C-alpha cells in the first residue's frame, strides 16, 4: 500500500505542514518534543540508578 517516499514527496509534505501550522507553531512543537524526550531519558536514567542502588543494598 505504502511505498518509500522520495525527496519530492517529502518536500510537498513539508510545504503542506508549513502552510497548516506556520513556522512559529512548528518551532514550538519541536521545542516541546525535545523537552519531552529529554525528560523521558532523565526519567529512565533515574529509574536505572534506583534499580542499581537497590541491587547494591541487597548484596
Residue 28 and residue 55: Cα distance in Å, rounded?
A: 41
We report the CATH number of the domain holding residue 43 as: 1.20.5
Asked if residue 21 belongs to a domain, the reply is yes
CB 15 within 8 A of CB 23: no
Cell of 54: 537497590
Domain count, the chain: 1
Q: Which domain holds residue 26?
A: 7-58
CA distances 27 to 2, 4, 33, Å, are: 28, 26, 10
| Residue at 37 is within a domain | yes
Query: Taking the model in full, what pTM does it have?
Result: 0.52
Whether 13 is covered by a domain: the verdict is yes
16-59 confidence digits (pLDDT tens): 988 988 888 888 988 999 999 999 988 888 776 766 666 666 65
Amino acid at each position: 500500500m505504502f511505498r518509500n517516499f522520495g525527496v519530492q514527496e517529502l518536500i510537498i509534505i513539508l510545504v503542506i505542514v508549513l502552510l497548516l501550522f506556520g513556522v512559529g507553531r512548528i518551532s514550538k512543537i519541536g521545542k516541546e518534543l525535545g523537552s519531552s524526550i529529554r525528560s523521558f531519558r532523565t526519567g529512565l536514567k533515574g529509574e536505572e540508578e534506583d534499580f542499581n542502588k537497590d541491587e547494591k543494598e541487597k548484596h
